[in-house]
Amino acid sequence: MKYYIKTFGCQMNFNDSERIKGLLRTLGYQEAESWQEADLILINTCTIREKPDQKVFSHLGEYRKIKEENPKALIGVCGCLAQRMGYQLVQKAPVVDIMFSSFNIHQLPELIQRAQAGYKAIAILEEPPQDEDKLWEYPTVRDNPYCAYVTVMKGCDKNCTYCVVPKTRGRQRSRSIESILKEVKQLVAEGVKEIHLLGQNVTAWGQDIGSHFSELLYRVAEVDGVERIRFTTGHPKDLDEKIVKAMAEIPQVCEHIHLPFQAGSDRILKLMDRGYTKQEYLEKIEMLKEYVKGITFSTDVIVGFPTETEEDFEETLDLLKKVKFEQVFSFKYSPRPDTPAYSMQDQVPDEIKTERMQRLLELQKSILGEIAKSYEGTLQELLVESVEDGNKFIGRTRTNRWASVKSRENLLGRVVKVKVIRSHPFSMECELLN
Ligand code: 5AD
Ligand code: SF4
């Protein structure tokens, strides 16, 4: 039996898919090269903005053809859109045989059995079930043998007024330190060097189980063989001095942080219910720079939140200029049903969102050009993840930039010192140092 999984959305969703693959492997399934060859097609969906919602239905329209060739083939939908739409989704797309959400991935074996017996196997729960931790018992199947995502918490307790995540992924549930360390040890034994801790708001890890994220960082770093640690996503409000100090003290924690600011205007930040001002955000950046020498930043920004004026938007541009992020993920505000911002007055017209987005991208392009140049001649450390044309080895710097280095010796999976010769916006060419 073969499966095919199409994944949309964030790294969390990708990691969920890696675990679904592990689960399917324990059931005896193998990965198909294409959906046409699969006995089970799954779409792991995202609903953060309107666009990914639409894509799911166009994919379902295509995948349904599988049933003409292979009438026993099953089609499943899981993830955030499944959670948000529930039965409505099956009404709209009757071709769906199996549906579940991120609450109950571990129930997939039973759902497949039910669907094979000819029933619609739909299990969308209101609340995460008691036994959701069973999920951690399944291994992950990963494409990258050296860098692994480890989910450390599910859900989110923040109430950003634009965001569906608290609804689709539920309240914050931190995974226990024992369960996390068990997985980290297993991954390292399999050859993984870089551990990437994942959560909708990892910096709040522990708050619901009487612990603190800094504790988790120290404990993960103690595992023999962990060469690098990263984490995503941080929330400025929960990023405190204890975490920053841990980042500075732990040699394996990389000099990079993804810290979404979403908007530069205090008025908009308040409407978003982000819990900080522009000034407070900048203070966190200063604290990070002070403790963690050479740290680089990436961020998420929303353009055109309801009521955003030209002045508000200029505050966003100002923040970009001040921090100089190495990567900016920018999104046009997309109204999501059942969120407070959906019904706010004065939604910004799409043409204005588009125009502001273009200006933001222009500005970021010039900032990135400057940053890229500043890397030339510097010494960096790469963890080599892949190889092209036999001798071009590709890896990431600790500051999270892609770089390549030529070598006759196989460097895969190794941490090497390099000198940057040429640096472009999204890549760098380096020379190997001994
Ligand atoms: N519209 C646009 N962007 C959004 N994001 C979250 N919700 C919305 C929305 N309704 C963005 C935020 C978040 C990223 C994952 O997606 O910037 O950090
Ligand atoms: Fe999309 Fe958010 Fe769900 Fe990730 S958590 S898949 S970004 S809706």
Nearest-CA residue for ligand 1 atom 18 is 300
User: How far apart are alpha carbons 66 and 327 in whole angstroms?
Assistant: 39
Indicate if ligand 2 lies below 6 Å from the C-beta of 10: yes
Tell me the mean pLDDT in the region 345-372.
97
- CATH of range 2-123; options 3.30.9.10, 3.10.450.50, 3.30.450.40, 3.40.50.12160: 3.40.50.12160
Q: Looking at residue 137, what is its pLDDT?
A: 92
pLDDT band at 52 (very low <50, low <70, confident <90, very high): confident
- Chain region(s) in the chain for CATH 2.40.50.140: 379-432
Nearest-CA residue for ligand 2 atom 5 is 165
Stretch among 50-59, 188-197, 208-217, 276-285 having the lowest mean pLDDT: 50-59
71: which residues sit within 8 A by CB, 6+ positions away? Answer: none
Asked whether the predicted pLDDT for residue 53 surpasses 90, the reply is no
Asked whether the predicted pLDDT for residue 434 surpasses 80, the reply is no
User: How far apart are alpha carbons 154 and 147 in whole angstroms?
Assistant: 20
pLDDT band at 51 (very low <50, low <70, confident <90, very high): confident
- Chain region(s) in the chain for CATH 3.40.50.12160: 2-123
What are the respective helix, strand and coil percentages of the chain, to the nearest 5?
40, 25, 40
Mutate to test the pocket of ligand 2, among 7, 46, 153, 201 (most ligand atoms within 8 A of CB): 46
Indicate if ligand 2 lies below 6 Å from the C-beta of 43: no
pLDDT in tens, 97-135: 999 999 999 999 999 999 999 999 999 998 999 999 999
Nearest-CA residue for ligand 1 atom 6 is 163
Number of residues in the chain: 434
Q: Residue 74, Cβ neighbours under 10 Å: how many?
A: 22
The overall average pLDDT reported for the chain is 96
Residue 169 CA: which ligand 2 atom is closest?
5
User: Beta strand 2-7 with 147-151: parallel, antiparallel or unpaired?
Assistant: unpaired
pLDDT in tens, 220-272: 999 999 999 999 999 999 999 999 999 999 999 999 999 999 999 999 999 99
Stretch among 120-134, 342-356, 410-424 having the lowest mean pLDDT: 120-134
Distance 381 CA to ligand 2 centre (A): 32
Protein fold of 379-432: OB fold (Dihydrolipoamide Acetyltransferase, E2P) (2.40.50)
